[in-house]
A and B are shown apart, each in its own frame.
Chain A
Amino acid sequence: MELMLDELREAAVRPITKPGKWFYLLAGFLGLLVTGGLAAYIYQSIHGLGVTALNDEVFYGIYMTNLVAFIGISYGGAIVSAILRLTHAAWRAPITRLAEGMAVVSLIIGALFAIVDMGRFPHIWNVFVSPNPNSPVIWDMMAITTYLMATLIFFYLPLIPDTAILLSRSSQKFQAWRVKLYSLLSGGWKGLTTQRSRLSTAMNLMAVLIIPLAVSVHSVLAWVFAVTSREGWHSSIFGPYFVVGALFSGVAAVTLVVVAFRKAYHLEKYIGLKQVRYLGYLMLALGAIYLYFTFSEFLTEGYTQYQATVPLLQSLLAGNYAPLFWAFAVGAGIIPVLLIAIPKTRTVRGITVASILVVAGMWLKRLLIIVPPLRQGLFSTPTPTYHGTWVEWVITLGALAAIPLMMMIMFRLFPVLPIHEMEEIATEESEHALKPAGVLNSGVE
């Protein structure tokens, strides 16, 4: 057991101790993309939002899509760390740190798009001077900041014992600043029973608290659209629709992150096929619910054949936006289902492909929720097409690169495996005579 724990601790800090030279190459490349994104944003700040392809008819586009999509991806953390914790799903143990880390990073990047999309960001202090409690934008700001604080706390709590464990390893010598950081974060953790029980209570409380917070964030994002009177937006299903969509894309993103770090740092011993498969099953279930909601939305809209709805549905199903819509339906709907359902393709590679398709397809779906109803316009006037300009795409690319970059930096600071949680769950499991120390060797399947 001691040997296994030592091995676990070594593996958890492998990104810190042995990053490999490809790390610096990749970080450099991602850093370049992020810098490009920042430069494009500065260019936009100087010249105004006119440098985008947005106009008075299609006034929300790629930035709002990114806002919804990136915050949506952060829900992977909520589901893996919080929901699976409350259901005592032991298989989640090795991946909670990766999931929570991704949640923190994608939430921050996603929330930044609200700023990118704002025409006059320097006026934002008016939110404190004369806030309007009736405004969904205000609800948004309150929900996102609260959820971000909760996610940060939830990420930090298991770091208390983990940083203490790092310090206690006599075989590993860290730089002075690391020692200072870890001792600050661990705050006197000695692994005592009272400390363990306190931490466990706090984690359970946070797991319970973070679920309504998560639900509120994406519901409020949905209501920004749903409380308007525009056809295609004014739908009662939007709140639950966006939440399920976020969970769906979030699980897919967690899968990608897990597979990437597993491969890069050779963590196959701890993160096994079991983790990837179970994530795949979760993705399948959530995808099914999302497709059901989509179907319900279209059926309800289309059956009555209202004058305002018919052209919108036609453009989505058979018109201008049909290629994108069917790319989503097949790519993020049918193909992942098949890949996970068929045992032959239920491999790490197969599930990875499914996850990539889901993340990309769900991004497309958010674009299809936002832009086609705007293209339709009011008073049946034609509206210009919207393809996005280089500014929008470069900023999007920069944000996309920022997520893995920030995660790579994050796991050069903190252990990539949640040592304390894994040990805890291992102890729990060994008390059940049926599966001794199962979680530490889940990779052996």
Chain B
Amino acid sequence: MQIENPSRRQFLKGAGALAIVGALSGVAGIATLGGMKKVAGAEKMNMPETDRQWVMVIDLRRCDGCKACTTACQKEHYLHPEQEWIKVYKLEGPSGQKYNLPKPCMQCEDAPCVRVCPVKATFKTSDGVTLVDANKCIGCRMCMAACPYASRYFNWKDSLPVPSTLAKPTPEFPVPQQKGTVGKCEFCLHDVRAGKLPACVRACEMRALWFGDKVADLAANPDEVVKLSTLINSNDATRLMEELNTGPRVYYIGGHGQEVNY
């Protein structure tokens, strides 16, 4: 049986195929090394970054569990009723005391979600907020697995219809949410960078939610401005799951329904 001398042809074919694969891996590798330092998705944002460090302080003594914060957030972002980006838990303490815990995204300094995202769709801004670039998100939900605070939510279906006057979604104002991607509290960065309080802070009638800036050392709710460090230190504010070393930016003043004068 006659077989043509294919050795050179076959070699070229085989080498060519594997060279393509090698090139792809090489590109991936170079993009990896190059992308390790870069904040991915930053160029997709449409607002200039600020030199602030945003934090939230939540006074559990004042929270009555009314969930006005949850509703306001859902309204602002056109979310479905089951998507609660700031969830209010009704919990019981060790001595039987009942208290309410509003929980937004912790915007962790060393965020586990940022660490595990395969395509760098979720990233930290320089002012401390963790954002999601829905154009990159492949919907693998590894970030949801990694988040120890269960603060990430998947878009299992299309978002509620949004008015056509709304601009295209950006990471700072991810409205409408895209089906098949992950969404979460983004500290209403679009409002905050323009000097307006987040939707939940504005909506809380008990004034349990404060929004602050560590750089200017100030915290505000719709009624007043106070010194952030005083608010945190004199009320012994703590953070959730401190031992996980995530560096959360939401401080909690413990309590349940006490009368409060700052």
Contacts and interface: CB of A to CB of B under 8 A. Distances in A.
Asked if A and B touch directly (CB within 8 angstroms), the answer is: yes
Interface of A: 47-50, 54-57, 59-60, 114, 117-121, 123-124, 126-138, 141, 149, 167-168, 183, 186-188, 224-225, 227-230, 233, 377-381
A130 B1 contact: no
Given A133-B32, A137-B140, A228 B145 contact: yes
Interface string B131-173: 0000111111110111011100111111000000000000000
B95 to A, nearest CB: 16
A229 B244 contact: yes
Contacts of A123: 119, 135-139
B117 interface: yes
Interface of B: 1, 3, 6-7, 10, 21, 24, 27-28, 31-32, 35-36, 40-41, 82-83, 89, 91, 101, 103, 112, 115-121, 135-142, 144-146, 148-150, 153-158, 178-182, 244
A135 B36 CA distance: 12
Given A48-B158, A118-B139, A227 B116 contact: yes
A55 B10 CA distance: 50
Nearest to A117: B140
A311 to B, nearest CB: 15
A183 B144 CA distance: 51
B145 A119 contact: no
Contacts of A114: 140
Contacts of B91: 379-380
Given A48-B180, A135-B118, A118 B154 contact: no
A130 B40 contact: yes
Give chain B's interface secondary structure class: loop
A379 B150 contact: yes
Nearest to B2: A183
B244 A379 contact: no
Given A50-B156, A379-B150, A120 B142 contact: no
B140 A119 contact: yes
A188 B118 contact: no
29 contacts: A48-B157, A56-B82, A56-B83, A59-B145, A60-B141, A60-B145, A119-B139, A119-B180, A121-B138, A123-B136, A123-B137, A126-B119, A126-B136, A127-B28, A127-B119, A131-B32, A131-B118, A132-B118, A133-B36, A135-B118, A136-B142, A137-B142, A149-B21, A188-B6, A227-B146, A230-B145, A233-B145, A379-B91, A380-B91
B145 A225 contact: yes
Nearest to A187: B10
B227 to A, nearest CB: 31
Given A128-B31, A132-B119, A119 B137 contact: yes
Q: Please list the 7 inter-chain residue pairs (A to B) with the smallest Cβ-Cβ separation, ordered nearest first.
A: A119-B139, A119-B180, A50-B156, A120-B180, A137-B118, A126-B119, A50-B157
Contact of B138 (A118, A183, A229): A118
Contact of A379 (B6, B40, B89, B178): B89
A120 B137 contact: yes
B206 to A, nearest CB: 21
B150 A377 contact: yes
Contacts of A60: 141, 145
B31 A129 contact: yes
A167 B3 CA distance: 12
A124 to B, nearest CB: 6
A188 B3 CA distance: 7
Q: For B103, B118, B157, B244, which residue has the most chain A Cβ atoms within 10 angstroms? A: B118
Contact of B141 (A59, A129, A187): A59
A130 B31 contact: yes
Contacts of A167: 1
Contact of B144 (A48, A56, A127, A137): A56
Nearest to B38: A130
Contacts of A117: 140
A141 B156 CA distance: 24
Given A126-B120, A188-B3, 14 more contacts: A48-B155, A48-B180, A49-B139, A54-B154, A119-B154, A119-B155, A126-B136, A132-B120, A186-B3, A187-B3, A225-B145, A377-B150, A379-B89, A379-B103
Contact of A59 (B6, B112, B144, B148): B144
Contacts of B28: 127-128, 131
Contacts of B10: 187
Contacts of B120: 126, 130-132
A124 B154 CA distance: 17
A407 to B, nearest CB: 25
A134 B103 CA distance: 27
A172 B243 CA distance: 72
Nearest to B119: A126
A378 B148 contact: yes
A182 to B, nearest CB: 10
Nearest to A168: B1
A379 B92 CA distance: 11
A60 B156 CA distance: 13
B157 A381 contact: no
A49 B35 CA distance: 30
A183 B139 contact: no
Contact of A48 (B7, B153, B179): B179
A233 B116 CA distance: 15
A124 B41 CA distance: 15
B145 A135 contact: no
Contact of B136 (A59, A130, A183): A130
B150 to A, nearest CB: 4
B7 to A, nearest CB: 8
B116 A128 contact: no
Nearest to A381: B89
Nearest to B138: A123
Contacts of A48: 155-158, 179-180
B118 A128 contact: no
A380 B181 CA distance: 26
Contacts of A50: 156-157, 179
A93 to B, nearest CB: 27
Nearest to A133: B32
Given A48-B180, A187-B10, A377-B150, A135 B103 contact: no
A59 B138 contact: no
Contacts of A379: 89, 91, 101, 103, 150
Given A50-B156, A119-B180, A120-B138, A131 B119 contact: yes
Contacts of A49: 139, 154, 156, 180
